[in-house]
Amino acid sequence: MNLPLTPYRDLLGTYLKPQRGRVALLAVLLLSSIGLQLLNPQIIRSFIDTTQAGGPQGALLLAAGVFIGVGLVQRVVALATFYVGEQVGWSATNALRADLARHCLRLDMAFHKKRTPGELIERIDGDVTALGNFFSQFVMRVAGNALLIGAILLLLLREDWRAGLGLTLYTIITFVALGVLQNRAVARWEAQRQTSAEHFGFLEERMSGTEDIRASGAESYVMYRLYGLIRDLLRKDRAAQLFSNLTFVTTNFLFVIGYAFGLALGAYLYRQGAVSIGTAYLIVFYIGMLAGPLEHIREQVEDLQQASASINRVRELFRATGGRACGRVSGRLVRL
């Protein structure tokens, strides 16, 4: 199930525009983190080659000190990135929750008679919560990790064209596999979110009517209905999780193949005298680094699967206005 890019773009533009300063800071932090990740392997390569050549001890101590310093700075940047990202995500989702709640409060009773309060709570809070990472991390992390992968592949091409070409093909195959799995998972996550909302709506309505249920002796019937909802929720949640886990298994399997190729190629080039042992280590290290951004992109794809389902449901709720597809909510024009 594919969504056009317009809902993603409009949602991000509406709720991230007021935070453009934080978003810019988040972009700078992510780019800094990428640069630091690419720098440290070069320091290690220099350290190994200097050791092999019997270089001065001062140069080795300097390389070690720089390596430790870069590592510490990278950890600080990662912490700052997480902090700023959480601020962006919470601010955006809180604004969206407020707009959805205000929108629902303005609808007539015909709308509210068709939906229980528990279902609306789950849709306004639960669906929006699933979008937290989409607002705070998705675009930056996907773009940042894609940039990191591109930089790694360019560095590998510079060191040896065979390593660069082979790993470029591996990366393309991985992205294609992620795209296919993401498309198939969105519909399953949307069904899971709908069943979860129905489950919460059932609980809220029955708990508020406990006295009437007991008076009419309907406890067994209510429990029977509850078991049916739980069973349906389990089945749909399991189907959605299965596709997410399939994404994890696929990317890890492809990484094992790519890493084995990198180890074999590094050993071959070193034995042929084409590269130094430091460069062979650098090639293997960069191939190992590919696992990190590919894993992060896989996680973002899983979040996008759930976010896409939630966006569908948020759009549906905003459209509950008698046919209009957009509306001005709390001063923001929401085109969903």
What's the pLDDT at 76?
Answer: 93
**Is 184 or 171 the better-scoring residue by pLDDT?**
171
For the chain, what percent of residues have pLDDT higher than 90? 1
Mean pLDDT over 208-234 rounds to 85
What pLDDT sits at residue 144?
Answer: 75
Confidence (pLDDT) at 73? 92
CA distance 334 to 224: 41
Where do the domains of the chain lie? 5-322
The percent of residues in the chain predicted with pLDDT above 70, rounded, is 85
Q: What is the mean pLDDT of residues 240-266?
A: 78
Residue 1 has a pLDDT of 41
Q: How confident is the model at residue 7 (pLDDT cuts 50, 70, 90)?
A: low
Is the predicted pLDDT of residue 329 greater than 50, yes or no?
A: no
pLDDT at 54 over 90: no
pLDDT tens-digit map of 172-191: 887 787 777 766 776 677 77
Is 238 a residue whose pLDDT tops 80?
yes
Residue 332 has pLDDT above 60, yes or no: no
Between residues 207 and 83, which one has the greater pLDDT? 83
Question: pLDDT band for position 306 (50/70/90)?
Answer: low
Predicted confidence (pLDDT) per residue in 111-149, tens digit: 877 777 777 777 777 777 767 666 766 766 777 777 888
The CATH number that domain 5-322 falls under is 1.20.1560.10
Q: Residue 81: is its pLDDT beyond 90? A: no
Estimate to the nearest angstrom the gap between the alpha carbon of 250 and the chain centroid.
17
pLDDT at position 136 is 65
Q: How far is CA 75 from the centre of its chain?
A: 20
Kindly indicate the confidence band of residue 2, based on its pLDDT and cuts at 50, 70 and 90. Answer: very low
pLDDT band at 302 (very low <50, low <70, confident <90, very high): low
Average pLDDT over residues 77-94: 84
270-292, pLDDT tens digit by residue?
888 877 788 787 777 877 777 77
Classify residue 307 by burial, with Cβ atoms within 10 Å: 0-12, 13-18, 19+. Answer: buried
pLDDT for 151 equals: 82
Q: Judge whether 178 and 296 are in contact, CB under 8 Å.
A: no
Mean pLDDT (whole number) for 246-255: 77
Please check the confidence at residue 248 and state whether its pLDDT lies above 80. no
Burial of residue 144, with CB atoms counted within 10 A of its CB: 0-12 exposed, 13-18 middle, 19 or more buried: buried
| Mean pLDDT, rounded, for 92-117 | 82
- Give me the phi and psi of 332, to 5 degrees please: -110, 135
Q: Are the CB atoms for 307 and 92 separated by under 8 Å? A: no
Give the model's pLDDT for residue 243: 75
